[in-house]
Amino acid sequence: MSAKKRKYIEDYIRFGFVSLQRGDTEVPQCVICYKTLSNDGMRPSRLERHLRTSHPALVDKPKAFFETKKDTLKRAKLDDSGSFRQLSSKVVEASYEIVMLIAQSKKSHNIGESLIKPGIFYAAKLVLGKDSANKLSQISLSNDTVKKRIDELSQDIKVQTLDQVRASPVFAIQCDETTDVAQCSQLLMYARFVSGNNIKEEIMFCHPMESFTTAEAIFDVISDFFQENQLSWESLVGVCTDGAPAMRGLRSGFVTKVKERNPSVMSTHCKLHREALASRILPVEMMDVLNVGIKIVNFVKAGALNSRLFKLLCKDMESEHEALLFHTNVRWLSKGNMLGRLYELREEVEIFLDSQQKVDLYDKFQSEGFHATLAYLVNIFEALNAVNLKLQGKNINIIVHHDTIRTFMAKLDLWKCRVLQGNVASFRNLDTALADSNLDSELKEQIITHLSDLKSEFVRYFPDIDDKREAWKFIRNPFQCEVADVAEEVQEEFLELKFDSTAKEDFKDMDLETFWVKYLHVYPLTSHQALRILTMFGSTYMCETAFSTLVSIKTKYRYRLNVEGDLCCALSSIRPRILDLVAKKQCQISH
């Protein structure tokens, strides 16, 4: 005998229930929490119990209150189970915003469902109540959802970036490749272009190289990208690479292949890499001091016990620091930082070597002239690090890079001249170390030799530094430049600019890029010549910072991750159009 099917009575609305047809059976549905009961629950006692236990604050509400909720429920999109088929757009928008935060913080995708969602649920439950917490629980943050939405956000950023690059009169690129934790070669490309009233830098793509990383393979990837996204080779004005043979080979390098498409493209060898190469030169005697310093640091930090003992010694002596720093060749600032810390803790190091009976290192550390040479090395590498830092950073044009290099080369001449006179005031630590004595003739000769060699290396790695200054003179200040200093085809327009009093006033108040972008439509020929230079990259700094981000995102625990979407969201300054994405989304219940 089949069970009796109960019928809904209109008066049940006073308990907050309406009827929901499920097949050929009626079931009661709560208009507050949308929960459905069985057909057997369609009796006043059961309905009233649900109201009192689940919604005690609403027990005394009049029937009209629940009638209003009934009307709202009718307008909602429900499936046969009584659940929402489509959530509020605000819930989906919140999901996108949280996913964007996850990507920008370089966190694992599963942090959404393992930490963030439980965290906001319990916080809302404690602060706002259970009903509010239930609403927040509808935010979809599963691992798959986070990955999918990161890809959607990055695609939107990419579309906006490409629109801006295509609209720019000129643009330049920098590209480099590295091998990630999964032994996969990743090719990265950045673009520098005119956008709005200024010049911007944005990541274009991160492409895994499946086989070879030859010039031809790299060029094919970038050429396909240009073709797929309708980027013009004619608008490309500059290419910056790290100087590897695959990139800058004279016959078959990547740059050579680019110039086959556009002969007017100017190529740049990254100034950061060139500065690092030029800084390697050291006289034999100074190299011996450097090697001893590295050995001492390695001895102190090689074992856990030594590290702990040295830390205790530094604490007892109330030292400013409690540890030495390792030297790593691939890190540009490493050598200077390591030497600086060693010099600051030289007293502690001397005591530690003596207490550990490390006789060979102790004798070398205490040898005549060791501390004076070490002091000089600290100062010169401090200066080299300062130059390196000035070459780093976002939105730095190539003219600033050239000015930085020229300034340092001029300082080398000044320091050499001073040392020849026995004056070491330019080297603070060395000057302090020799406070009560004169500069030793042998050390003096070493310093002069080193400064001369450094200057020669910088001249070798930056051979056109002075020529570019003259060629770019009109860009730096068109109002202090002669007409003969610009190309013949723009001379007449240049004169109009030079004697434009309004432009002259604007030049005083604006930075270089903003000024030339503003007057692009007024003086197109002259401004175009200037922007060809100002959009060029002087280094591959952006790629290098992206590689650091890549290391943070793609770890040994996420070695199969397709990292392009995460990189784009983490590195781009462009805000994704989340509301547009929400409008296109068929919102689904959290899973």
Q: Which of 390, 377, 391 is nearest to 454 (CA)?
A: 377
Q: What's the CA gap between 120 and 590, in Å, rounded?
A: 14
Q: What's the CA gap between 240 and 172, in Å, rounded?
A: 8
| Mean of per-residue pLDDT scores for the chain | 88
Give the pLDDT band of residue 40 (cuts 50, 70, 90). confident
Per DSSP, helices labelled H in 206-244 are 215-228
pLDDT in tens, 496-532: 999 999 999 999 999 999 999 999 999 999 999 999 9
Give the pLDDT band of residue 589 (cuts 50, 70, 90). very low
The domain segmentation of the chain, as residue ranges, is 10-75, 86-265+542-591, 278-465, 472-534
pLDDT at 86: 42
pLDDT in tens, 126-178: 888 887 788 888 888 999 899 999 999 999 999 999 999 999 999 999 999 99
Evaluate if residue 125 carries a pLDDT over 50.
yes
Give the pLDDT band of residue 91 (cuts 50, 70, 90). confident
Evaluate if residue 213 carries a pLDDT over 60.
yes
Q: Which of 97, 106, 196 is nearest to 152 (CA)?
A: 97
Q: What's the CA gap between 134 and 486, in Å, rounded?
A: 69
Q: Which of 219, 275, 209 is nearest to 242 (CA)?
A: 275
- The most confident of 74-83, 241-250, 441-450, by mean pLDDT: 441-450
In SS3 terms, 438-469 reads as CCCHHHHHHHHHHHHHHHHHHHHHCCCHHHHH
pLDDT in tens, 380-419: 999 999 999 999 988 899 999 999 999 999 999 999 999 9
Evaluate if residue 1 carries a pLDDT over 50.
no
Q: Which of 233, 212, 234 is nearest to 222 (CA)?
A: 233
Q: What's the CA gap between 159 and 153, in Å, rounded?
A: 10
In sequence order, what DSSP letters do the residues of 109-143 get, joined into one string?
TTHIIIIIHHHHHHHHHHHT-HHHHHHHTTS---H
Q: What's the CA gap between 110 and 145, in Å, rounded?
A: 10
How would you class 7 by CB atoms within 10 Å of its CB: exposed for 0-12, middle for 13-18, buried for 19 or more? exposed
Give the mean pLDDT of 44-50.
90
Q: What's the CA gap between 39 and 37, in Å, rounded?
A: 7
- SS3 call for 513: helix
Structure tokens at 241: 């690479």
Strands 17-22 and 25-30 turn out to be antiparallel
Give the pLDDT band of residue 591 (cuts 50, 70, 90). very low
CB burial of 405-414 (b: ≥16 within 10 Å; e: otherwise) equals bbebbeebee
Q: What's the CA gap between 348 and 361, in Å, rounded?
A: 14
CB 518 within 8 A of CB 526: no
Q: What's the CA gap between 398 and 266, in Å, rounded?
A: 12
Q: What's the CA gap between 139 and 125, in Å, rounded?
A: 15
Give the mean pLDDT of 58-73.
85
CB 124 within 8 A of CB 132: yes
pLDDT in tens, 551-585: 999 988 888 888 999 999 999 999 999 988 888 77
**Cβ count near 520 (within 10 Å):** 17
Q: What's the CA gap between 7 and 1, in Å, rounded?
A: 18
In sequence order, what DSSP letters do the residues of 557-574 get, joined into one string?
TSTT---HHHHHHHH--S
- SS3 call for 411: helix
CA 391 to chain centre: 16
pLDDT at 525: 93
Please give the share of the chain, as a percent, with pLDDT higher than 70.
94
pTM of this structure: 0.79
pLDDT at 286: 92
Give the mean pLDDT of 426-432.
90
pLDDT in tens, 451-490: 999 999 999 999 888 777 778 888 999 998 888 888 888 9
Q: Could you say which DSSP state residue 61 is in?
A: -
Structure tokens at 217: 């393979």
- The most confident of 241-245, 274-278, 586-590, by mean pLDDT: 274-278
The CA-to-CA distance between both ends of the chain, in Å, stands at: 39
Evaluate if residue 230 carries a pLDDT over 70.
yes
- SS3 call for 22: strand
